[in-house]
């Protein structure tokens, strides 16, 4: 059934939507809608004030701490290694790199350790202050929308799992485009709304204001004056990473930004991802075993280090 959204679609400007879900993974009420013209998915209305939530509450709500614990640093350090693997072809010489949403600073510290001119920005006070002090990072505190960086100043910009948290992803991509050098590369990674690796009840939650598939992320980049160079999906299909470059000419704002049949494609995948289909596969049980094994070994792996920096130094040794 067609409904109307309280705010226009951030991609195509339409407000004719269909409801995909009325619950978050926490069980709380959360209305998730899909634009019938382009397939962008978002929470309507937003479940919180994004600025206040990410500055003050987010880390406490999801990690139960204002600063990362050793196990969080170990996990994030391992993720940082996978992210470096994705972009190492861009780091063949010293680069000026901006990391948007540095979090606990593990990826930023890795890039800095490799000799690059690392800049970061982080809105969460606890994690930002921690990472700046712990790893001596060059950080701004606040939101990328308000960042004070010179235009055309970065060779590489990374924004890992941040865009979906922003209240205006189109504006954010436009801001990042302005900060890229003419031949720079913007790396954007977001969760994939088409993923079926998670349980059906975990598809939507309060922290993700927007949900993308490859088509909507690519299209939003095009609208912001970016052009896709390449993309990759994670092994389980849960994440999509796009590598953008500046388009030679700004996008034609007269053209429509709809994506034919994309909403139907996403809706069919989301609605077809039922508990019966999910738990009839081996994947969720293997995923559970992997998580349990990781938890068991984490306690062992974080012992014997004087501080969290030395833990990362050991993890990154050999790069």
pLDDT tens, position by position, 29-88 = 999 999 999 999 999 999 998 888 877 766 555 555 556 788 889 999 999 999 999 999
Residue 102 lies in a domain: yes
H or E segment and range at residue 32: strand 29-35
Model-level pTM greater than 0.75?
Answer: yes
Computed over every residue of the chain, the mean pLDDT equals 92
Q: Is the pLDDT of residue 10 over 60?
A: yes
In angstroms, what CA-CA distances link 4 with 9, 38, 73?
10, 15, 42
Residue 137 lies in a domain: yes
Residue 20 lies in a domain: no
CATH code of the domain in which 123 resides: 3.40.50.150
In 53-209, which residue ranges form alpha helices assigned H by DSSP?
58-63, 70-87, 106-113, 125-135, 169-179
Range of the domain at 63: 48-258+273-316
Q: Does residue 309 sit in helix, strand or coil?
A: helix
**Contact call for residues 140 and 121 (beta carbons, < 8 A):** yes
Residue 78 lies in a domain: yes
> Residue 48 and residue 65: Cα distance in Å, rounded?
20
Residue 297 lies in a domain: yes
Report how far apart the first and last C-alpha atoms of the chain are (Å, whole number). 53
pLDDT tens, position by position, 266-301 = 999 999 999 999 999 998 898 888 888 877 777 777
Residue 163 lies in a domain: yes
Domain count, the chain: 1
Give the position of tokens 């409904």: 3
Burial (CB count within 10 angstroms: exposed 0-12, middle 13-18, buried 19+), residue 69? middle
What are residue 31's phi and psi, to 5 degrees?
A: -90, 110
Residue 128 lies in a domain: yes
Residue 132 lies in a domain: yes
């Amino acid at each position: 059934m067609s409904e109307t959204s309280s705010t226009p679609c951030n991609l195509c400007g339409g407000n004719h939507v269909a409801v995909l879900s009325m619950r978050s993974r926490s069980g709380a009420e959360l209305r998730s809608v899909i634009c019938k013209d382009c397939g962008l998915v978002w929470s309507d209305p937003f479940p919180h004030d994004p600025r206040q939530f990410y500055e003050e509450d987010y880390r406490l709500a999801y990690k139960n701490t204002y600063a990362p614990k050793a196990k969080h640093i170990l996990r994030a350090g391992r993720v940082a290694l996978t992210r470096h693997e994705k972009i190492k072809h861009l780091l063949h010489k010293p680069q000026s790199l901006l990391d948007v949403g540095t979090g606990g600073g593990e990826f930023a510290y890795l890039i800095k350790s490799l000799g690059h001119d690392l800049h970061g920005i982080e809105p969460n006070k606890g994690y930002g202050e921690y990472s700046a002090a712990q790893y001596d990072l060059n950080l701004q505190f606040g939101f990328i929308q308000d960042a004070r960086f010179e235009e055309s100043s970065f060779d590489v910009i990374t924004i890992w799992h941040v865009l979906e948290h922003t209240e205006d992803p189109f504006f954010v991509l436009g801001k990042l485009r302005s900060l890229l050098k003419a031949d720079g590369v913007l790396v954007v990674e977001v969760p994939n709304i088409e993923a079926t690796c998670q349980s059906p009840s975990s598809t939507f939650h309060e922290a993700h204001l927007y949900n993308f598939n490859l088509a909507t992320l690519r299209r939003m980049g095009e609208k912001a004056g970016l052009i896709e160079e390449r993309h990759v999906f994670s092994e389980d299909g849960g994440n999509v990473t796009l590598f953008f470059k500046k388009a030679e000419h700004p996008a034609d704002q007269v053209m429509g930004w709809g994506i034919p049949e994309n909403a139907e494609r996403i809706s069919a995948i989301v609605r077809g991802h039922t508990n019966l289909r999910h738990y009839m596969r081996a994947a969720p049980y293997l995923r559970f075993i992997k998580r349990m094994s990781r938890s068991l070994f984490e306690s062992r792996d974080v012992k014997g280090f004087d501080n969290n920096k030395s833990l990362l130094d050991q993890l990154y040794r050999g790069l």
